[in-house]
Amino acid sequence: MSSGRFQELSGNRRDRLTQEEFQAIREFLYRHTGIVLADNKRYLVESRLRDLLQSHSTSFSQWISYLRADTLPAEFRTRLIEALTTNETFWFRDAQQFELLQNQLLPKLSHRRPIRIWSAACATGQEPYSIGICVHEARRLKPGLKVEVQILGTDLAGSALQIAKQAVYSDLATARGLSPELKQRYFLPHPNGWQLKPEVRRLVSFQQLNLLDSFAALGQFDLIFCRNVLIYFSPELRRQILERLAELLLPHGYLFLSSTESLPPGLNRLSPVIAHGVRYYVRNA
């Protein structure tokens, strides 16, 4: 089916989902991403899709017919997934975790060359760049500390990663979690807001990745941040992903979930630790 054919008007221009159509979208999203849409997300789905549908001169019912026939072109499938997934993020989210990273874990791991850190589901880059700022702050506050890091940020949404790679953020985005001191120290004025300085940007690389896919090609890590994303998965998929994350951690490596998340029982490769008011998990040897 050509893009031109896809963009034809359907004659039915309603922009409200029936319950059947909402269920079809839920099944599509789960099949391709593992994300579970709750029953109360119907209005959210409608609002996120409305602009997307109008930009392609089509309707909910037409999209649903393509989904059911599995004839939605790949580029539109990608846009639909990106419209439905959450890219909510801000600087130094769960600030105590970053304080622990900067003041305790980076010095503890400094003998490793390099320290490899993975920020999973990093959205527009604030999390991996917050980690990069912590590295520079650790070096600044402890002269002589030799910390070498490689930070990988991954996300399902290619459009979010494009923003991350540019590292340009608006006044509003930099105001969310970023102190004036850190903004002044690590950002430069840009026509579209503020751009992160090269010394932080070069610590981070980005790669598109679906958490349902294999992690094997990523290698092993000393630290993994996988925060505020597993809450969108079914319990079964959540456990599977956590088991695969544990496999990628080096012995005595660290896993950070969000402050509101915890491991399901029975994951024997990881042990919980509470230090300095922060709960995290350590890979057993």
219-248 confidence digits (pLDDT tens): 999 999 999 999 889 999 999 999 999 999
pLDDT at 3: 44
| Alpha helices by DSSP H, the chain | 3-6, 19-33, 42-55, 60-69, 74-84, 95-100, 106-109, 126-141, 158-166, 171-175, 180-186, 198-201, 235-248
pLDDT at 8: 39
Q: How many Å apart are CA 116 and CA 125, to the nearest integer?
A: 17
Q: Could you tell me the sign of the dihedral formed by the alpha carbons of 271, 275, 277, 278, in that order?
A: negative
Options 48, 50, 77, 112, the catalytic residue: 48
Q: How many residues in total does the chain contain?
A: 285
pLDDT at 15: 61
Q: Which residues of the chain have pLDDT under 70?
A: 1-15, 54-59, 86
CA dihedral 171, 175, 180, 184 (to 10 degrees): -40
The pLDDT tens digits of the residues spanning 151-190 come to 999 999 999 999 999 999 999 999 999 999 999 999 999 9
Active site residue 48: yes
Tokens standing for residue 265? 């029982």
What contacts 164, CB < 8 A, 6 or more positions away? 122, 123, 124, 125, 128, 129, 153, 155, 206
Q: Which of 89, 34, 93 is nearest to 256 (CA)?
A: 93
Options 26, 42, 94, 155, the catalytic residue: 155
Active site residue 13: no
Q: How many Å apart are CA 129 and CA 122, to the nearest integer?
A: 10
Q: What percent of the chain has pLDDT over 70?
A: 91
Q: Give SS3 for 225.
A: strand
Residue 23 and residue 63 in contact, taking contact as beta carbons nearer than 8 Å: no
Q: In order of start, what are the domains of the chain with their CATH numbers? A: 3-84 (1.10.155.10), 95-283 (3.40.50.150)
